[in-house]
């Protein structure tokens, strides 16, 4: 049953109100104006200069928001809805509650990706039937989603920028006028950021080897075909997370990055992976499975890429996840519309080569974006096959909750557009500690030593970033 929430601004959304802004190749300059405002979000394509040749459909837009007029916060037991300084506590599935709130708005199609709607994060544990609290746990909500009625959009393809809104909230027009003035005279941030401890990992090789052998036993018994297992790392820090993020986006450029600032914690995400996008009923997911490290020697780097493309093990991992995601999308897509557009294509990033596939379909007329997200959540590339049994084994074997890691960050707009990532290469900063993770898929051919090395080089950009800020 969908929860219906009545809010005071319920009305049809008609024309989009636009305030043009000067185009800037590095949109972090605009986010600087609101970086310390609670519930400020920066969905970052990784584009940083006007000569960048990596602009594509995946990296065309940057989206900046703050000051939601509704806040939805889900913990393990209830969901809080805040509006106009009033708070309502309810119970139910957080996805269904979000669906009920968004259903109160009439949708007006726009060409821009997001001009208002829901934007936030969805923790991995939202996909579990039971959550274990006896694990290493950061202590943050399962879901935090704001309903925003404006966005700052930077379009790197057309080289344009806008403040865009449907003006749902009666105070928004005045706010946007003031913001447009503020961002034109923003002053540089003179704060600092430092790392002041060594990195502690929850799993050493012996503990990881034990888990891998347990998984191999499950695979041999026919329980599962593949399981994604992760390690967690913790390091102490001090200073302004936004300063840290600006360096991270230099070191770890990727098309689905994000920076999120809340009252008591921050998220720094360097994800290269799309989870689900939907636009005009067209649905797309881009799972990543298969990894080899980059090398500074061009010949060795080319050999690593060719090795990945020729690897039967990595290809098998990718194919299993493609089949899983075809099944997940089929719950909400028109029968016969699901198509594998690309299979095991090579994608190269600053520290790794990956294999990426593309699965697409057409949304059923009576389905919804949030139901599509809920029924596919969490992403198959970070669980295993079959998904439900894999998640049960992960819950039993991993000593930590994943929280935002392997969950998703993204938006569901009033305009019926959605785009979400898989929150890998993601750092959570809370109480002057940084929590980050790295994982990989275990299949029958896996070797614990090789897999342990793989998760280390997946996290190498974060390690490089930490070393940059390490206090002498």
pLDDT tens, position by position, 316-365:
999 999 999 999 999 999 999 999 999 999 999 988 999 999 999 999 99
Annotated active-site residue in 71, 232, 289, 374: 289
Report the largest interatomic distance among the alpha carbons of the chain, rounded to a whole angstrom.
64
Give the span between the Cα atoms of 116 and 143, in whole angstroms: 19
Query: Stretch 99-109: mean pLDDT, rounded?
Result: 82
Report which of residues 59 and 402 the model is more confident about. 402
The 10 Å CB-count burial string (b at 16+, else e) for 75-109 is: eeeebbbebeeeeeeeeeebbebbbbbbeebeebe
Q: Is the pLDDT of residue 4 over 70?
A: no
Say if 435 falls within a structural domain. yes
Q: Is the pLDDT of residue 418 over 80?
A: yes
Verdict on whether the full-model pTM lies above 0.85: yes
Give the span between the Cα atoms of 341 and 334, in whole angstroms: 16
Determine contact, residues 218/380, Cβ cutoff 8 Å.
Answer: no
Say if 276 falls within a structural domain. yes
Q: How many domains does the chain have?
A: 1
The CATH number assigned to the domain holding 33 equals 3.60.120.10
C-beta atoms surrounding 9 within 10 Å: 18
Query: Stretch 286-292: mean pLDDT, rounded?
Result: 94
Q: How far is CA 117 from the centre of its chain?
A: 17
Say if 443 falls within a structural domain. yes
Domain that residue 26 falls in: 17-469
Residue whose entry in the numeric block shows the structure tokens 């925003």? 148
Residue 188 binned pLDDT confidence (cut-offs 50, 70, 90): confident
Of 134, 238, 259, the residue nearest 191 (C-alpha): 238
The percentage of residues in the chain with a pLDDT greater than 90, rounded to a whole number, is: 80
Q: How far is CA 270 from CA 238, 250, 253, in A?
A: 20, 10, 7
Report which of residues 228 and 167 the model is more confident about. 228
Residue 7 binned pLDDT confidence (cut-offs 50, 70, 90): low
Say if 11 falls within a structural domain. no
Query: Stretch 422-440: mean pLDDT, rounded?
Result: 97
Determine contact, residues 21/161, Cβ cutoff 8 Å.
Answer: yes
Structure token digits, residue 112: 């821009």
C-beta atoms surrounding 30 within 10 Å: 23
Give pLDDT, residue 170: 78
Give pLDDT, residue 5: 53
Q: Which of 82-91, 176-185, 338-347, 384-393 has the lowest mean pLDDT?
A: 176-185
- Say whether the peptide bond before residue 378 is cis (omega within 30 degrees of 0): yes
Give pLDDT, residue 8: 45
Query: Stretch 61-75: mean pLDDT, rounded?
Result: 96
Say if 46 falls within a structural domain. yes
71 noted as active-site residue = no
Q: Which of 167-171, 319-323, 458-462 has the lowest mean pLDDT?
A: 167-171
Residue 187 binned pLDDT confidence (cut-offs 50, 70, 90): confident
125 noted as active-site residue = no
Determine contact, residues 341/360, Cβ cutoff 8 Å.
Answer: yes
Query: Stretch 393-417: mean pLDDT, rounded?
Result: 95
Give the span between the Cα atoms of 437 and 77, in whole angstroms: 25
- Encode pLDDT of 11-55 as tens digits: 555 678 889 999 999 999 999 999 999 999 999 998 877 556 666
Average pLDDT for the chain: 91
Q: Is the pLDDT of residue 107 over 70?
A: no
Give the span between the Cα atoms of 270 and 438, in whole angstroms: 12
- Encode pLDDT of 208-261 as tens digits: 999 999 999 999 999 999 999 999 999 999 999 999 999 999 999 999 999 999
Of 441, 448, 376, the residue nearest 224 (C-alpha): 441
- Encode pLDDT of 111-137 as tens digits: 889 999 999 999 999 998 777 777 888
- Encode pLDDT of 144-153 as tens digits: 999 999 999 9
Give the span between the Cα atoms of 137 and 127, in whole angstroms: 17
Give pLDDT, residue 318: 95
Give pLDDT, residue 191: 85
Q: What is the Cβ-side half-sphere exposure of residue 355, based on CA atoms within 13 angstroms?
A: 26
Say if 8 falls within a structural domain. no
Give pLDDT, residue 451: 95
What values do phi and psi take at 245, rounded to 5? -65, -40
Say if 3 falls within a structural domain. no
Sign of CA dihedral 340, 385, 203, 216: negative
Annotated active-site residue in 99, 125, 273, 360: 273
Helices (H), 75-202: 94-102, 172-182
Q: Is the pLDDT of residue 461 over 60?
A: yes
Say if 43 falls within a structural domain. yes
C-beta atoms surrounding 10 within 10 Å: 11
């Amino acid at each position: 049953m969908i929860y219906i929430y009545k809010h005071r601004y319920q009305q049809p959304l008609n024309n989009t109100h636009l305030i043009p802004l000067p185009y800037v190749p590095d949109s972090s300059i605009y986010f600087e104006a609101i970086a310390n405002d609670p519930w400020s979000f920066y969905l970052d394509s990784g584009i940083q200069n006007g000569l960048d040749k990596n602009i594509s459909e995946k990296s065309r837009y940057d989206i900046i928001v703050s000051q939601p007029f509704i806040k939805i916060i889900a913990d393990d037991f209830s969901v809080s809805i805040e509006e106009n300084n009033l708070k309502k506590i309810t119970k139910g599935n957080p996805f269904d509650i979000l669906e009920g709130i968004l259903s109160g708005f009439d949708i007006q199609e726009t060409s821009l990706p997001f001009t208002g709607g829901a934007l936030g994060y969805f923790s991995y544990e939202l996909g579990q039937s039971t959550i274990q609290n006896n694990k290493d746990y950061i202590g943050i909500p399962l879901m935090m989603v704001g309903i925003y009625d404006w966005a700052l959009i930077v379009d790197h393809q057309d080289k344009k920028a806008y403040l865009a809104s449907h003006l749902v909230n009666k105070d928004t027009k005045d706010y946007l006028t003031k913001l447009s003035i503020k961002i034109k005279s923003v002053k540089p941030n003179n704060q600092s950021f430092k790392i002041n401890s060594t990195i502690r990992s929850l799993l050493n090789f012996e503990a990881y080897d034990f888990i891998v052998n347990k998984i191999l036993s499950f695979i041999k018994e026919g329980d599962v075909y593949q399981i994604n297992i992760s390690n967690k790392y913790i390091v102490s820090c001090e200073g302004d997370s936004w300063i840290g993020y600006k360096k991270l986006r230099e070191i770890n450029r990727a098309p689905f990055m994000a920076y999120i600032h809340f009252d008591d914690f921050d998220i720094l995400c360097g994800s290269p992976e799309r989870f689900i996008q939907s636009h005009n009923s067209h649905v797309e997911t881009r799972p990543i499975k298969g990894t080899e490290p980059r090398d500074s020697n061009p010949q060795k780097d080319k050999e690593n890429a060719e090795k990945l493309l020729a690897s039967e093990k990595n290809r098998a991992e990718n194919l299993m996840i493609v089949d899983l995601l075809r099944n997940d999308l089929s719950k909400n897509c028109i029968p016969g519309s699901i198509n594998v557009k690309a299979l095991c294509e090579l994608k190269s990033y600053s520290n790794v080569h990956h294999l990426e596939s593309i699965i697409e379909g057409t949304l059923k007329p009576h389905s919804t974006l949030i139901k599509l997200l809920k029924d596919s959540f969490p992403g198959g590339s970070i669980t295993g096959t079959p998904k439900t049994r894999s998640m049960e084994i992960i819950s039993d074997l991993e000593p930590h909750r994943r929280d935002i890691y392997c969950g998703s960050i993204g938006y569901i707009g009033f305009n019926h557009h959605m785009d979400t990532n898989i929150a890998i290469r993601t750092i959570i900063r809370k109480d002057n500690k940084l929590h980050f993770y790295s994982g990989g898929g275990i299949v029958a051919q896996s070797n614990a030593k090789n897999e342990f090395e793989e998760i280390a080089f997946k996290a190498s950009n974060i390690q490089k970033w930490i070393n940059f800020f390490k206090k002498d």
